[in-house]
Amino acid sequence: MNYNWKFEIPKETEEDLPYIKTKKVTLGVIKKVIISNPSGSVGKSHLRIFYHEHQVYPLNKGEWYEGEKIHIGFEDNYKLDSQPYELKFKGYNSSSLYAHSFYVNIAILREEGEGEGGEIPSLVGLEGEI
């Protein structure tokens, strides 16, 4: 599964009261992450990504992705194995004039035989019941 989001952070958002958006994902393993922000933010926009209440990106707790025209891409093996299957984006924007955005692309590999929410039921032996 490949997910792509635009995370727009309103102007004058404070670090201690970040703007938060929750995005549903599937059970599986995060294999690749790409994060970028276009020019114009002048380093005033900041992003963290959480799974449940654990900060997963950036890996060093308490830090933020920030900058001007950043493009970060990396491979990972972060397992999403407990419900709810959601990623939480937290951001702040110190600009007093404009909202600023990050673009996040995440590839999640589902293990064979798994679908959203767990095992795919077998259809063997259901002849005549469908």
Task: For residues 80 and 108, give the distance between their C-alpha atoms in angstroms, rounded to a whole number.
Answer: 9
The pLDDT tens digits of the residues spanning 80-102 come to: 999 999 999 999 999 999 999 99
* Residues 9, 45: Cα–Cα separation, whole Å: 7
Q: Which two tokens stand for residue 5?
A: 């989001």
pLDDT at 129 over 60: no
Mean pLDDT over each residue of the chain, to the nearest integer: 88
pTM: 0.83
Give the whole-angstrom CA distance, residue 84 versus residue 23: 10
Domain over 2-112 is classified CATH 1.20.1050: no
Between CA 8 and CA 13, with CA 11 as vertex, the angle to 5 degrees is 95
Question: pLDDT tens digits for 99-115?
Answer: 999 999 999 999 765 55
Interval 7-44: pLDDT, tens: 999 999 999 999 999 999 999 999 999 999 988 888 89
Question: DSSP characters for 116-130?
Answer: TTEEPPP-TT-TTT-
